[in-house]
Amino acid sequence: MSLTIVAIIFAPLTEDHADVGQHVLVGGQHVTEYQCRLAHQAGAQLVVLCVERISKAMLVSVDRLTDEGVKIAVVRDASELREQIHPEEQVLLIAASIVAEPRLVRELVADQKPMVLGVRNMPDAERFERIDGFTSWSGLAILPGELVRQTAQQIGDWDLQSTLLRSALQHHLPVELIDLEHGDAPLIGQICEPMQATRFNKALLQRIPTAANGAIDSFIWCPLTDILMPTLLRWTRDATWFAAALGLLVLLTLASNWLAPIIIPPLLFLLGGFIARIAVRLSSLSLRETGRLQWLLQARIAVGGISLMMMAKRLVDYGIGWGFAILSLWVLVEIARLSRFDPWFLGKRGLPVWRSGPDVAAVIIVIAHLYNVDILGLELVIVSALATDVYLRTRLKS
């Protein structure tokens, strides 16, 4: 039977979004905001944020999360916490400044088994709270709601976070260990300084793969994005600005079909692919929903199709002939056929890098136009699209 999961997240006593928080960013956002998203994405129906004092910037973070559908309750003492927890609920406990790889938190919540997640004592584990001479607390645990309520009722002026851990151990909750030195061990750490956040962000980039959409994305946009991402994560909080830039590029691409030379629309379309890759990557690392962004990605492809038809019309007007227009429509049909295998920026894993797609078609068309062989360019686009279609249909059937 599925149980209700509530997350309790402790904000550091010295945390100040106005000073430290603007430099210590994980996934492009403050540590506490990232923790809230971790819990929400893992399935927590309510996030209880325990703070001693709340700054204006933290209130902004809470409002932003609330607008995105994350249910948050802010509490300042044990009595307020007790009111938020039902005895039959399971509680995901996240200690102050503790961040983890999303898959680890999802697995903890999915198991729904009361436990304390521990790590073996070693030099890299000195920042974690000690359990005994051999084990430290990772900062993550699943506790029964009744245990949390009892502890909160008896706590007085004691430290709530540490007392909850001691109470869990006194009630003999199992301590499951993860080996942080193992190559496949999930990422987990306590982030208090900008350098720690930078290291965690770089490790997170390697752990959260990107689904490349064809050769242009794989060999150009993805490597460039991964080079820029550590810098972007130090100063930006979300993909909003890049989504806005993508929307502007879509409009410029559409307008350039009438107002600019014939080569400009496909070039703007290709640049939009780079901006789209950055926006999607930021959204995935920051654990934000990509539903709204997906509309922009689809709009970009639609405008690319309009640009192709306008290019055909302009070249027909120049005297190339109606055969060019027919080839252009054929290109649109083939690119549309490929979408059932590889929806834009939601690429299925294991698809060949060489597969055809909108960006590959745009590159071929640009090069062909520069060498004044537009019809040959469209023929090459059709051949590559047909080859991809036949290969994928054969492969998916086998």
pLDDT value, residue 269: 92
Look up residue 186 and give its DSSP letter: P
Q: How far apart are the first and last CA of the chain?
A: 37
- What pLDDT does 160 receive? 86
Low-confidence ranges of the chain (pLDDT < 70): 1-3, 13-23, 121-126, 155-158, 183, 209, 211, 236-238, 290-291, 319, 339-350, 396-398
CATH code at 300? Answer: 1.20.120.1760
Q: What is the pLDDT of residue 350?
A: 65
Integer angstrom CA distances of residue 299 from 87, 123, 378: 48, 51, 22
CATH of the domain at 112: 3.90.550.10
pLDDT digits (tens, 9 = 90+) for 167-177: 999 999 999 88
Read off the tokens for 124.
């890299």
Residues 184 and 263 in one domain: no
pLDDT of residue 147: 92
Name every residue whose Cβ is closer than 8 Å to that of residue 329 and which is 6 or more positions away in sequence: 309, 312
Which of 163, 196, 229 is the endpoint of a domain?
Answer: 196
Q: Tell me the average pLDDT of the chain.
A: 82
In this predicted structure, what is the pLDDT of residue 256? Answer: 92
Q: What is the CA radius of gyration of the chain?
A: 26
Domain's final residue, options 144, 169, 196: 196
The predicted structure's pLDDT at residue 241:
84
CB atoms within 10 A of CB 264: 16
Q: How high is the pLDDT of residue 270?
A: 92
pLDDT of residue 3: 60
Residue 202 lies in a domain: no
Q: In the beta sheet, which residues pair with residue 92?
A: 7, 142
Burial of residue 363, with CB atoms counted within 10 A of its CB: 0-12 exposed, 13-18 middle, 19 or more buried: buried
352 in Cβ contact with 391 (< 8 Å): yes
The pTM of the full predicted model, rounded to 2 decimals, is 0.79
User: Of 164, 196, 228, which residue is a domain's last?
Assistant: 196
Outline where the chain has alpha helix (H).
31-42, 56-67, 78-84, 102-111, 145-154, 160-170, 194-207, 215-216, 222-235, 240-259, 264-285, 291-317, 322-338, 358-370, 374-397
203 in a domain, yes or no?
A: no
The total number of structural domains in the chain stands at 2
For residue 201, tell me if it sits in a domain.
no
**Residues 232 and 380 occupy one common structural domain:** yes
Residue 171 belongs to domain spanning: 5-196
CA separation for the pair 175, 194 (Å, rounded): 31
Pair (149, 224) in one structural domain: no
